[in-house]
Amino acid sequence: MNNNKRILLIQPRTGTWDTMSIRFPESLLAVAAVPSVKGYKIDLLDQRLEKNWKTKLTGFLAKNPILVGLTSMTGEQIGHMIDIINFIKTVSPVPIVFGGIHAILLPKQSCAHPYIDIVCEGEGDFTLYEIAESLREKKSLHNVKGIYFKEDGEIIYTGKRDIINDIDILPMPPYEILSVDRYRTFEIGQGGSATVFTSIGCPFKCKFCAAPVLRPKWRSFSVERVMDNIQFLQKEYNISNIYFQDDNIAGSLSRFRKLICQMANMDKKVKWGAMGIRADAICRLAKEDFDILLESGCHNLDIGVESGSRRINNFVNKGESLEHIIEANNKLASYPIKVKYTFMIGFPTETEKEVRESIDFATSLCKTNLNAYVLFFIFVPVKGTEFYNLAIEYGFKEPKSLEEWKHLQYEKWHEKYPSWLNDKEIKRCRAVSFVSYFANDNVKYKFTSLPLKIIFTLYNPIAKIRFRKQFFLFFVESYVQESIFKIKSFIEKKLYR
């Protein structure tokens, strides 16, 4: 038996998103909670924060952890994760456990990588602890549900793990493993910022979205648990800005009302925003709810619109109409709450006319609500979703190995994989997406790094004209964008070597 109850968790760099903000590594905090309360010492290496990550990693490996756990989304982050595990195996034979979004979507293919020993197929809250105990006590991994692992040259699957219905049984996140003051979520006031989950999953079935695949059932922490979490962050780390990262924070409207009521009655209030709330939930709020919402410290809400085209709205199975969006926007326009509306373009079968309809609809929302802004993203096929199979029908060729998935970046995946879009359409999608980030003054608080703030100030007047006129031809900014990425990549290779 190994009495060294130590686990090393690693958060790989995300990529270009790291220039905007660096949020808590929530997935690692979640899987660290159970082993932490069971007496394990958890070391955390966040590559996004460490210039000389190899030196620090070598030091952590010298402490002989039982395992090293890593997480990754699909796309650019996988490349950084592979760099890390390649380095680990030159230093130590420690077992490597891979979890997170990509691991859930493609567990067996991920486990086929020569340097990955174990893959967590689902939620790892108890799984990581059970893996660590099995390795420490030299027991078989066959009894640990929800994993893939290698044995005698074969990949073994242990079967699905039951989901946790009452998530209040999970321990509080072990924030002590973080350097909390080094993270930045957004800048809306004095004091530190933090991310918090109040619920898991989303009950709706949008055809492009990974949430129903990753977390098929909506579950929530009790309001009391959430309040304990917020007040702990306030007291211990002087946190005054909270960003709720739920897929759908108002999955239960009665619970949402209870939460904002309790936040409104806090002695020391926080400013907060929510990553996911639906327009149809906003429509069901009464005037007194909005008054409480404002009193609770609500600063910003993010609402997914996806498309201003009625056909595309139905096509993606959004489950709410454009009229819901308009009604919610009209209600919110009376309050000083920033509202981010997210759109997607580049869907299979989408026409240029429908893209223009989306931009027109986005513009109308901002005209009605002066606190609103819009961001456009480019559709990316997500394994397991209905639209993934549709994308394959329309020409997408799926990656065949873990390494290949690093090229599935939302703004540039068309460079590596064929799709239904021609060169002109790809350029238009990239132009619309890039311009949307700079075309509205309300988005500025999202940029937490000084270089991006400067770029925003300089480019904002041009972006406003382009977006308002829908003039995306002669997009010379793409060359500037590529130059920025190349310079940034060169610097990162030097700093994060």
Lowest mean pLDDT among 90-94, 189-193, 231-235: 189-193
Pairing between β-strand 199-200 and β-strand 219-220 as defined by DSSP bridges:
antiparallel
Contact 377, 343 (CB under 8 A): yes
* 81 shares its domain with 200: no
What's the confidence (pLDDT) of residue 1?
A: 65
Residue 35 domain-assigned? Answer: yes
Consecutive H or E run containing 305: strand 298-306
Going by C-alpha positions, the residue among 363, 326, 26 that lies closest to residue 178 is 26
Residue 165 domain-assigned? Answer: no
Q: Show contacts of 80-86: CB within 8 Å, 24+ apart.
A: 80/12, 80/13, 80/14, 80/15, 80/47, 81/12, 82/113, 82/402, 82/403, 82/406, 83/12, 84/10, 84/12, 84/47, 84/53, 84/57, 85/113, 85/115, 85/116, 86/115
Contact 283, 324 (CB under 8 A): yes
* 215 shares its domain with 82: no
- Checking if the pLDDT of 489 tops 70, the result is no
* CATH number for the domain harbouring residue 78: 3.40.50.2300
- Checking if the pLDDT of 191 tops 90, the result is no
Q: Give the integer Cα–Cα distance in Å for 179 and 157.
A: 36
3-state helix, strand, coil in the chain (%, to 5): 45, 15, 40
* 109 shares its domain with 237: no
- Checking if the pLDDT of 265 tops 60, the result is yes
Q: Which residue has the tokens 């513009």?
A: 363
- Checking if the pLDDT of 270 tops 60, the result is yes
Which of 157, 174, 209 delimits the end of a domain? 157
Q: Give the integer Cα–Cα distance in Å for 118 and 141.
A: 9
Q: Which residue has the tokens 């190349």?
A: 486
Beta strands in 192-250 (DSSP E): 192-196, 199-200, 219-220, 239-244
Q: How confident is the model at residue 361 (pLDDT cuts 50, 70, 90)?
A: very high
* 280 shares its domain with 331: yes
* 146 shares its domain with 189: no
Domain housing 116: 6-157
Summarised one tens digit per residue, pLDDT across range 90-119 is 999 999 999 999 999 999 999 999 999 999
Q: Is the pTM of this model over 0.85?
A: yes
* Mean pLDDT, the chain, whole residue set: 92
Summarised one tens digit per residue, pLDDT across range 281-307 is 999 999 999 999 999 999 999 999 999
Residue 388 domain-assigned? Answer: yes
Contact 421, 350 (CB under 8 A): no
- Checking if the pLDDT of 276 tops 80, the result is yes
Which of 157, 174, 207 delimits the end of a domain? 157
Q: Which residue has the tokens 């648990």?
A: 225
* CATH number for the domain harbouring residue 295: 3.80.30.20
* 87 shares its domain with 206: no
- The interaxial angle of helices 477-495 and 450-469, nearest 10 deg, is 160
What's the confidence (pLDDT) of residue 184?
A: 83
Summarised one tens digit per residue, pLDDT across range 416-455 is 999 999 999 999 999 999 899 899 988 887 776 777 778 8
- Please return the burial class of 413, using the count of CB atoms within 10 Å of its CB with bins 0-12, 13-18 and 19+: buried
* 491 shares its domain with 369: yes
Quick count: other Cβ atoms within 10 Å of Cβ 330?
A: 14
* 311 shares its domain with 364: yes
Residue 1 domain-assigned? Answer: no
Which of 122, 157, 192 delimits the end of a domain? 157
Residue 491 domain-assigned? Answer: yes
Residue 206 domain-assigned? Answer: yes
* 57 shares its domain with 10: yes
Average pLDDT over residues 54-58: 96
Residue 123 domain-assigned? Answer: yes
What's the confidence (pLDDT) of residue 107?
A: 97
What's the confidence (pLDDT) of residue 484?
A: 55
* 128 shares its domain with 232: no
Percent of the chain with pLDDT over 90: 79
Residue 401 domain-assigned? Answer: no
* 235 shares its domain with 112: no
Domains of the chain: total: 2
What's the confidence (pLDDT) of residue 496?
A: 44
* 311 shares its domain with 350: yes
Pairing between β-strand 338-345 and β-strand 372-378 as defined by DSSP bridges:
parallel
Average pLDDT over residues 23-35: 96
What's the confidence (pLDDT) of residue 483?
A: 57
Q: How confident is the model at residue 479 (pLDDT cuts 50, 70, 90)?
A: low
